[in-house]
Amino acid sequence: MFDLQSIVRPNVWRMKPYASARDEFKGTASVYLDANENNLGSLAGNNYNRYPDPHQKALKSKIATIKGVKPSQIFLGNGSDEAIDLLFRMVCRPGQDRALFLPPTYGMYEVSANLNDVQLDTVQLTADFQIPVAEVLRNVKPETKLIFICSPNNPTGNNINPEDIEAILDNFDGLVIVDEAYIDFSDEPSWTTRLQDFPNLVVLQTFSKAWGMAGLRLGMAFASEEIIALLDKIKPPYNINEATQELALKALDQDEQLKYMIEEIIQERQLLEAALPTLAIVEKVYPTDANFILVKVKDANALYSYLLDKGIVTRNRSSVPGCENCLRISVGTTDENQKLYQAMAEFKV
Ligand SMILES: Cc1ncc(COP(=O)(O)O)c(C=O)c1O
């Protein structure tokens, strides 16, 4: 049985969160002398001399409507990378607790585990990049607090079978993190629709991909109100800056433009998926539901350097077990994709 109290670090239960000036006085006033701000104004303009809303109320309320969850089920982070780090800090006692991940997958789970001195157990995805469920459950130890699942998975691009994720959720008493950074490019429904079924589910999403806001750093975690309250308790008070909150609010009004960009990227992805296998150097184009494609070639190192010489940067994943001789290629604009294709077509082994 999943029991949040038993997996959260005792110091996290015990600690009092930082009480910001904006927490202690919630009304409106004509003179604010409570936060040691610069009341003369800001060299950056706007209201940037003032601290931002630590609870991001306006933003959460809009996201809640779009995502069909309560505002109290949303945590906002300085990128979803911040949520990943805080999840470790919330439940894993350094040097004692463990987490489990399924490579080849997103590298930050391992970086955050190492930073927090948490032993990370590894179960390799199968040859078609799916979860070997029985092996995962065999590798769960009494100290295992987190399992990270990335779907669509980075760098492979595929969706993880939902029934396998459900089996892990049903049979593991720690938190299951389903990282959906690329969900907007996928036909699969989001796991946010299943939050009421699984008290141990945390879903991560981000504004960095489909929304085109990687530079603003805004990530989301969706979970039970209890889990979100704990993440809010331990986050740095002003983790989402004012400019990001303002710009994200504006972006959230542009759902037509978002839809257009997603459709465009998927269409370009499909063109690349059809074109790349016709090239002699391409051995395999892996199925993808993301905004990138994993491509296996004859000699990835040579192709990577050749493309660099042509001014085209891809991600060489050759050294990642399971991705030997693979490049991960983001879907670009029509023009960029054509340049990539042309350059690859002219590559002599
Ligand atoms: C699977 C996955 N999760 C999370 C992130 C990080 O997202 P953010 O920019 O919100 O920190 C990335 C970025 O590449 C990613 O691939």
Indicate the pLDDT class of residue 26, thresholds 50, 70 and 90: confident
Q: Is 82 in the pocket of ligand 1 (CB under 6 A)?
A: no
In the reported structure, the alpha carbon of residue 253 is separated from the centroid of ligand 1 by a whole-number distance in angstroms of 23
Q: What is the pLDDT of residue 200?
A: 98
pLDDT in tens, 29-73: 999 999 999 999 999 988 999 999 999 999 999 999 999 999 999
In the reported structure, the alpha carbon of residue 344 is separated from the centroid of ligand 1 by a whole-number distance in angstroms of 27
Indicate the pLDDT class of residue 306, thresholds 50, 70 and 90: very high
Q: What is the pLDDT of residue 96?
A: 98
Q: What is the pLDDT of residue 25?
A: 86
Q: What is the pLDDT of residue 168?
A: 98
Atom of ligand 1 nearest to the CA of 208: 9
Residue 245's CB: how many other CB atoms inside 10 A? 19
Q: What is the pLDDT of residue 120?
A: 98
Give strand ranges (E) for the chain. 74-77, 98-101, 119-122, 144-150, 175-179, 201-206, 219-222, 282-285, 292-297, 315-316, 326-330
Atom of ligand 1 nearest to the CA of 105: 1
Q: Is 80 in the pocket of ligand 1 (CB under 6 A)?
A: yes
Based on the number of CB atoms within 10 Å of its own CB, is 76 exposed (0-12), middle (13-18) or buried (19 or more)?
A: buried
In the reported structure, the alpha carbon of residue 349 is separated from the centroid of ligand 1 by a whole-number distance in angstroms of 34
Indicate the pLDDT class of residue 21, thresholds 50, 70 and 90: confident
Reference 315, options 324, 302, 326; nearest CA is 326
Q: Is 77 in the pocket of ligand 1 (CB under 6 A)?
A: no
pLDDT in tens, 167-201: 999 999 999 999 999 999 999 999 999 999 999 99
Are the beta carbons of 190 and 203 closer than 8 angstroms? yes
The answer to whether residue 23 scores a pLDDT higher than 90 is no
Q: What is the pLDDT of residue 309?
A: 97
Q: Is 200 in the pocket of ligand 1 (CB under 6 A)?
A: no
Count of all residues that appear for the chain in the document: 349
CATH H-level, domain 256-345: superfamily: Aspartate Aminotransferase, domain 1 (3.90.1150.10)
In the reported structure, the alpha carbon of residue 326 is separated from the centroid of ligand 1 by a whole-number distance in angstroms of 20
Are the beta carbons of 281 and 347 closer than 8 angstroms? yes
Least confident of 27-31, 104-108, 215-219, 250-254: 27-31
Q: What is the pLDDT of residue 160?
A: 98
In the reported structure, the alpha carbon of residue 278 is separated from the centroid of ligand 1 by a whole-number distance in angstroms of 31
Distance, in Å, from the CA atom of 171 to the CA atom of 202, rounded to the nearest integer, reads: 15
Q: Is 181 in the pocket of ligand 1 (CB under 6 A)?
A: yes
Are the beta carbons of 272 and 293 closer than 8 angstroms? yes
Please provide the DSSP assignment of 98-150 as one string. EEEE-SSS-THHHHHHHHTT-EEEE----TTS---HHHHHHT--TTEEEEEEE
DSSP state of 240: S
Q: What is the mean pLDDT of residues 208-216?
A: 97
Strand 292-297, strand 282-285: pairing: antiparallel
Q: Residue 147: how many CA atoms within 13 Å on its side-chain side?
A: 29
Atom of ligand 1 nearest to the CA of 206: 10
The answer to whether residue 24 scores a pLDDT higher than 90 is no
Based on the number of CB atoms within 10 Å of its own CB, is 53 exposed (0-12), middle (13-18) or buried (19 or more)?
A: middle
In the reported structure, the alpha carbon of residue 85 is separated from the centroid of ligand 1 by a whole-number distance in angstroms of 12
Percent of the chain predicted with pLDDT > 70: 100
Question: Which 3 state secondary structure label does DSSP give 18?
Answer: coil
Atom of ligand 1 nearest to the CA of 207: 10
H or E element that contains 260: helix 255-275
Q: What is the mean pLDDT of residues 317-321?
A: 96
**Nearest-5° angle of CA 41, CA 47, CA 49?**
50
In the reported structure, the alpha carbon of residue 87 is separated from the centroid of ligand 1 by a whole-number distance in angstroms of 15
Q: Is 97 in the pocket of ligand 1 (CB under 6 A)?
A: no
Percent of the chain predicted with pLDDT > 90: 95
Residue burial 302-324, b: 16+ Cβ < 10 Å; e: rest? ebbebbeeeebebbbbbebebbe
The answer to whether residue 349 scores a pLDDT higher than 80 is no
Domain range annotation of the chain? 4-253, 256-345
Mean pLDDT computed over every residue of the chain:
97
Q: Is 229 in the pocket of ligand 1 (CB under 6 A)?
A: no
Question: Which 3 state secondary structure label does DSSP give 236?
Answer: coil
The two domains 4-253 and 256-345 share their CATH topology (first three levels equal): no
Class of domain 4-253: alpha beta
In the reported structure, the alpha carbon of residue 214 is separated from the centroid of ligand 1 by a whole-number distance in angstroms of 9
Please tell me whether the peptide bond between 104 and the residue prior to it is cis, using omega within 30 degrees of 0. yes
Residue type for position 167: A
Are the beta carbons of 199 and 2 closer than 8 angstroms? yes
Q: What is the mean pLDDT of residues 326-336?
A: 98
328 DSSP β-pair partners: 294, 315
Q: Is 208 in the pocket of ligand 1 (CB under 6 A)?
A: yes
Out of 208, 240, 317, mutate this one to test ligand 1's pocket (max ligand atoms within 8 Å of CB): namely 208
In the reported structure, the alpha carbon of residue 207 is separated from the centroid of ligand 1 by a whole-number distance in angstroms of 9
